[in-house]
Every structure is written in C-alpha cells, then in structure tokens.
Structure 1
Amino acid sequence: MPEQKRIGLVGLSAKGSWAARSHLPYLRKASLYKITALQNSSKDAAEAAAEEYSLDGTSAHGSASAIASDPNVDIVAISVNVPRHYDLTRPALEAGKDVFVEWPLARNLAEAEDLVLLAQQKGVRTMVGLQARQNPAVIKAKEIVASGKLGRILGTTMYGHAVIFGPSIHQSFLYGLPIEAGANLLTIPFGHAVDALCFVLGEVRDVSATLANLRPEHTLLDRDGKPAGTVQKTAHDYANITGFLVNGGGIVEVTYAPGVSRTNRDFYWEINGTEGSLVLEGPKMGGHLQMHQPSLKLATHDPEAAAHGAPPSGNQYLEEVTVEKAGDYSYNVGKAWDAWAGIGLDHGHTVTTFEDALLRHGMIEAIYRSAKLGTRENYV
C-alpha cells in the first residue's frame, strides 16, 4: 500500500467553490490522501472552511508561503481563479512540494514556462487539472481510435458552447473579462475540449485561427442574479481553428461559441475514419467536457451488407457504446488523483503534468498568433 500523502488544499471556501464540489468529495474518502491544511485569502477564511466541512485537525493558513512551509503538507493543491495560479504555485515549488494546479496552469505561456522550469529544477512531481482526459467517454474514444476500428483518420469536427460570455456575466466571473487574465472561452472550455481531442487523436499542426469578441458589453448580474449595470470585456467569445493532425494528416476543425445552445447542441464531436466514425454528444452545458460526460456512438459499415457486395454508403449503423457513468464533478478529478497514486493507469487514466500543460499553453499561444497575424502556426 503506497504511503498516504498529506494535502494542503488552496481555495476551499466555506461559501462553496469548485474545490468543494470536486476535490473535497473525493479526498475525504480517499485512503491514499488526507487533507491536512487549508489556505484561503485569510487564516480566518481557512478556519471557517475547516469548520464548515468538518475537517478537524487541519491547519489554517492565509498565505502561499505559510502553507508551502507547513511540514505536514506533501502536496499543495491549488484550486482558485486562474489569475492567482502563478503567485500561489511558485512558493510551493520553491519549498520543494509536489504541486497540483487547475487548468490553465497560468495566465499565459511565459508564466507557465517559468513554473515548469522551476518544478524541473526542484525535482518535484506535478499535475495539472486537464481532467477531460479522465472522462470515460474520452478514454473509450481513444481506445477505439487506437484499435484501428475506424481505419485511417480522415478528419474530426468539434463544436461546443462555452456557457460563459452569454448576454450576462455574474459578478463572480468578473476576473475573466480582461484577456490578460487568461480565464476565458479559449483557455477554459475550449482548452479542456481541445486537450481531449489531442489526447485521443494527437497534436495539431498548421493551425489557422479566427477569434472574435462579438459581445464586448455584457449585463452584470449581482450576487442574487439581478441586473446591476453593464461591464466591458476584452476576452474573445467566439473561437474557430482548423489544421491537420500530426498523426496521419487528417483535417481538424474546432469551433466554440458563447453561452448555451438554443438548439440543444451544446457539444458535438465527430471523428471520421476510412472504416467508421465516432460521435460524442454532450448534455446541456456539455461544452465543458472536463465536467460533463457525453454519450458515445460508433458508426461502421454493416459487414453483412458489405459481404453481399452492397456499397458502403447507406449501409452504416449507429450504435451506443457502453461506458462507465462518471457521476458527479468529483469523478474525473478523483480519477486524476488516483492516477497520480498509480491507480487506474491500466484502464486508460493518465497523469497530466506541468509539461503537458505547457504544450497546451503553446497551442493556445499559436492560436492567438494565427488570429492576430493571419498565418498558419505550429507549436510542436
């Protein structure tokens, strides 16, 4: 049995947070991990969270340096808004702690490069929260593609709605409005989904991108969800990329739109090969592939009809592929923690490191360059 690792969790709020909905439910029942410390914006806030979630015996901290120097912490897990990732991660790395950080790793490529270099210098283990790779439908899609059942991959099309950047913005997401914050449609929902695409099919070359901020002004919603004026944003709310798969040259097209779909097409991903196709369709708000599990369907030529000389066209069948149900938000996150402990690696689960995050940050930077310069860009 591996040694139990002690976790210092940054960002668990008594008022509710992503950490409370995803990491906490898993970590409270995990035998290989134990939450031993909390850090929030103040020590009082950390103590309030410990009391709210009955985390008896945990130490409370109000700064990154304090939790980084806690001798009862092996891993610092950072689950806060993107603009704060860099400043909270660096002290933990300096202290020689293993570190988990939500995706995006940082606001931009330069910050990500600095964190990766420091982690390598310190020789620590790292993980980044690109947990769409743990989605059962995504893992099964990767398995089917690798099996050769689809034949040679000719192309793939992905379309999703980002939920964010619809007509209104809740005050809790004001930090995502400036493009400099690195917390937007391209980096979060698009970033998670395109990472899953690359996980299944490999990286993309010759990227051509179109980005737009089509709704620069939004209605601001207060804490109670009531209109409270307007706010401006500089982040993009529509994104499209095209390119070619590095493996085999199949064509790639990905489009992400703001808000939610009026036509119940919040997420649709099709992979086409010479022998078959896969379709992944998400539920409402399913554009956040890291959070919501899509259905998975396989279409191949009918072998019986083909045996009688019938042409392939018009003789395809579409069947649901059975995969494990992910359950709540803690499922994908929990599988990522399991993988870090060496569990589930033989079932397709993977550890996504800072180096993996750096590759994805490089892709996003290439997308920004392409959209600005009108060029085809490469990041691998």
Structure 2
Amino acid sequence: MTDKPIRVGFIGLNPGIHWAATAHIPALKALPDAYEVVGVANTSVGSARKAANAFGLPHAFENAQALVNSPEVDLVVVTVKVPHHHELVTAALNAGKHVYCEWPLGNGLAEARELADLADAKGAVAAIGTQMRVAPEVEYLRQLIADGYVGEVLSTTLVGSGGEWGGQTDAAHAYLYDKANGATVLTIPLGHTLAGMREVLGDFGDLSARLINRRGATHVSDTGETIPATSPDQVLVQGALESGAAVSIHYRGGMSRGTNLLWEINGTEGDIQVTGATGHSQIVQLSIRGANGDATELAPLTPPASAYEGWPDNSLTRNVARLYALVAQDIRSGTRAAPSFRDAVALHGTIDAIERSAAETASK
C-alpha cells in the first residue's frame, strides 16, 4: 500500500460521550499523515448522517454492508456492542477489508476463534483494541521486569473496580448487566488488564475462579426502572503464571471509596506497585512506584519523557493512538506489530478458563 492516508470507515460512531467519539476520533486526528476518516454506518442512515455531519465526513452509509463494500474504505473500525462484533467483523473481512475491532473480539471464545481463522484466511490486518498493551507505562514495566528490577517474580496481586456493574447505571449502559451480552466486569475492565499483565509477566498457567453476583439488580437513573443484573459483580481468581509465579485477582463492580486499581509485582530483589483511578487500566493514567536492593520505601518510577513525546496528553486517547500507529505500520509494511485477533483468542482463552472454573465451583 502507498503512503497515502489509510481511509477509515466506522461502524458505530456517534457524537457526544460515546467511546468512538471520545477516544478513536481524537486518536486518529493525532495521526493525520496515517489516517483519514471517510465514513460511518450506524443503526440507521439518519444516525449515520448525523454523525457524518458532526465529524465532517464525506460518507454516511446506508448500512454496515454498504460501508464494508465501499472502495472508499481501507480499514473498518467496529465500535458497537459485543453481540454484533461477529457479524460485522465477518462482513468486513469477507469484503477484503482490514479491521480494527474493539475488545472483546467475540461474545465468547468460539466466536473469537472463528474471526481469527477468517482473518488469517483473508490475509488481513486484524487488530484488537487491547490498548493497555501499548501504553507507555506498560512498555516501561515490561522493560523493568525484563531487566531484573524485581529479580525473579514471585507473585503478582491485582485489585480493581469496574465502575459499572454497581448499583446504578443509565440506559446506554444497561446492556452491561446482562451476562448474555458478553460485556461483563470480567471481559471488559479485567479483560483489558489481563492483556496488560500478560504483556509484562507472560502467559497465565492454571487458574481457579469464582464469579459472584451480590447485587442481582441495578437502578437505571434516566428511566427510573430497576433491572435484573445477571452479570457477576465480583470476580475472584487465583493460580499461577506459566513462570510459576503466584497470581491473585479481585475485581468488583462499581467504585470503591478506597482502592480502585492496585497491581503489585513482588520479586526476589524488589517490588513494584501500579495504581490508577479505576480498574479500566486501558484508559486511566497509570502511576508506578518501586523499590529494590537496599531501598526500604517505594519511590516513583517514571517512563522516560521520550515515551510521551509526540503523543496526546490524555491517557485515554494516547493509548488508542499508539495502537493505531501500529495498525498503520502493519497495513503499509506487512508487519504484524499491533495486538491481533490471535492475541485476542489467547485472552479469550484465559477468560474462558476463568468462567469454566467458576462454573465448576458453583456446581459443587
């Protein structure tokens, strides 16, 4: 492919506070030489026209199939709810397009495998939006561990809050509370963080888990109704990494008045703590502290200033922009540097193992 901007078509782009508008559009604007957003398809042509007008896009497609069939689109970006990923990504790949799909890739492991197989068969660049993996702080952490800052890793502990999956939500997010939709505290905030943990510490080994639903219902603030909550709001995981290091995880729905993200890595020569404002580690600004050798107190560990140069100041936009930069490299150069559908399958496999373990525990 030439060095002309890669033409992007969005399936699921709306003005306002929606994810594509707040994260993807600013990220692409930060890469003007690499990308040009040319069109959108939404649930109706009226919605597509509204979005196209709001973002100054030349094309408002009648539907998703029209978008993926268009010769004006090189890269299809899928930013809709999880249950629609399989159908839309399949259509894009069958139309010969490259694809960037938001995480989770599919509604479960089987769908993810099907999409990865199809992407491989089509030879497409197929990227998954696990952008925590490319955060400057995570890349710095990976190097610290590789350089032996903590020595041999003995254990890692993770505590986080999902924000949603608590006692109150709004109509736009009510679908998160139905576990059948595949958008749970396990798959989204913890899933993103598991991708980052794997990037730093390697693959997971044997895991055992419990999924607990303590609330059972949630209040929808803008409609006044109370809806059932079948999605677990407590996720407990323990086990080991492939390296043998111990793993302990507790993610919970809602927000805590105390700790909302704490990730510790403990080793034979030192310790590291990673903290953030919420358990959505892919979005928030991460802070790192550590100590090793004779040091007795944790001190800030900051990535070099060069890691942030040329990138957006906001961590939400910056991480997505860094992933898009890898996608552009892959499309133009034939590399496979961006998190891929195969990476997504591996992450889905870990989540599937957690779900199966929890189901076995619950059946006893």
TM-score by length of 1: 0.88
Residue pair 2:16, 2:22 contacting (<8 A) in 1 also: no
Which piece of structure 1 moves more, 355-364 or 130-139? 130-139
Query: SS of the counterpart of 2:187?
Result: coil
Residue in structure 2 matched with residue 36 of structure 1 by the alignment = 38
Partner Cα distance (1:26, 1:262) in 2: 31
Partner Cα distance (1:132, 1:103) in 2: 11
Query: SS of the counterpart of 1:71?
Result: coil
Q: CA deviation at 1:350?
A: 5.0
User: Which of 345, 353, 356 is the aligned partner of 1:366?
Assistant: 353
Residue in structure 2 matched with residue 267 of structure 1 by the alignment = 261
Q: CA deviation at 1:13?
A: 0.5
Residue in structure 2 matched with residue 102 of structure 1 by the alignment = 102
Q: CA deviation at 1:17?
A: 1.2
Q: CA deviation at 1:301?
A: 2.1
One-letter amino acid of the counterpart of residue 174, structure 1? A
Residue in structure 1 matched with residue 320 of structure 2 by the alignment = 333
Residue pair 2:125, 2:327 contacting (<8 A) in 1 also: no
Partner Cα distance (2:159, 2:127) in 1: 27
Partner Cα distance (1:149, 1:2) in 2: 40
User: Which of 288, 295, 298 is the aligned partner of 1:318?
Assistant: 298
Describe the shift of the 1:15–1:150 C-alpha distance in structure 2 as closer, same or farther (beyond 3 A): closer
Runs ≥4 residues deviating over 4 A: none
Q: CA deviation at 1:164?
A: 0.9
Residue in structure 2 matched with residue 306 of structure 1 by the alignment = none
Residue in structure 2 matched with residue 312 of structure 1 by the alignment = none
Residue in structure 2 matched with residue 53 of structure 1 by the alignment = 55
Residue pair 1:219, 1:228 contacting (<8 A) in 2 also: yes
What percentage of residue pairs aligned between the two structures are identical? 35
Residue in structure 2 matched with residue 229 of structure 1 by the alignment = 225
What is the CA deviation profile of residues 208-249 of structure 1, one whole-angstrom value per residue up to 9, with x for unaligned ones? 001111111111211xxxx612100211110011111102x0
Structure 1, gaps ≥5 residues long: 303-314, 344-348, 376-380
Describe the shift of the 1:16–1:149 C-alpha distance in structure 2 as closer, same or farther (beyond 3 A): closer
Query: SS of the counterpart of 2:60?
Result: strand
Aligned length: 348
Query: SS of the counterpart of 2:284?
Result: coil
Residue pair 2:176, 2:184 contacting (<8 A) in 1 also: yes
TM-score by length of 2: 0.92
Residue pair 1:133, 1:350 contacting (<8 A) in 2 also: no
Residue in structure 2 matched with residue 301 of structure 1 by the alignment = 293
Partner Cα distance (1:83, 1:169) in 2: 20
Larger Rg: 1
Q: Please show how residues 1-380 of structure 1 align to structure 2 within 5 Å.
A: 2-30=3-31, 31-55=33-57, 58-222=58-222, 228-247=224-243, 249-263=244-258, 265-283=259-277, 286-302=278-294, 315-323=295-303, 327-342=314-329, 351-374=338-361
Partner Cα distance (1:63, 1:367) in 2: 36
Residue pair 1:336, 1:350 contacting (<8 A) in 2 also: no
Structure 2, gaps ≥5 residues long: 331-335
Partner Cα distance (1:153, 1:174) in 2: 40
Q: CA deviation at 1:342?
A: 3.0
- What RMSD in Å do the two structures reach over aligned CA positions? 1.7
Query: SS of the counterpart of 1:187?
Result: helix
Partner Cα distance (2:270, 2:30) in 1: 41
Residue pair 2:75, 2:98 contacting (<8 A) in 1 also: yes
What is the CA deviation profile of residues 179-233 of structure 1, one whole-angstrom value per residue up to 9, with x for unaligned ones? 11100100000101111111100111111001111111111211xxxx6121002
Partner Cα distance (2:302, 2:202) in 1: 24
Residue pair 1:7, 1:74 contacting (<8 A) in 2 also: yes
Instruction: Give the structure with the larger helix fraction.
Output: 2
Query: SS of the counterpart of 1:35?
Result: strand
One-letter amino acid of the counterpart of residue 266, structure 1? N
Describe the shift of the 1:68–1:351 C-alpha distance in structure 2 as closer, same or farther (beyond 3 A): same
What is the CA deviation profile of residues 264-314 of structure 1, one whole-angstrom value per residue up to 9, with x for unaligned ones? x1100000110111110112xx21001002210111122xxxxxxxxxxxx
Describe the shift of the 1:328–1:138 C-alpha distance in structure 2 as closer, same or farther (beyond 3 A): closer
One-letter amino acid of the counterpart of residue 359, structure 1? A
Describe the shift of the 1:137–1:34 C-alpha distance in structure 2 as closer, same or farther (beyond 3 A): same
Query: SS of the counterpart of 1:374?
Result: helix
Partner Cα distance (2:4, 2:257) in 1: 49
Q: CA deviation at 1:328?
A: 4.5
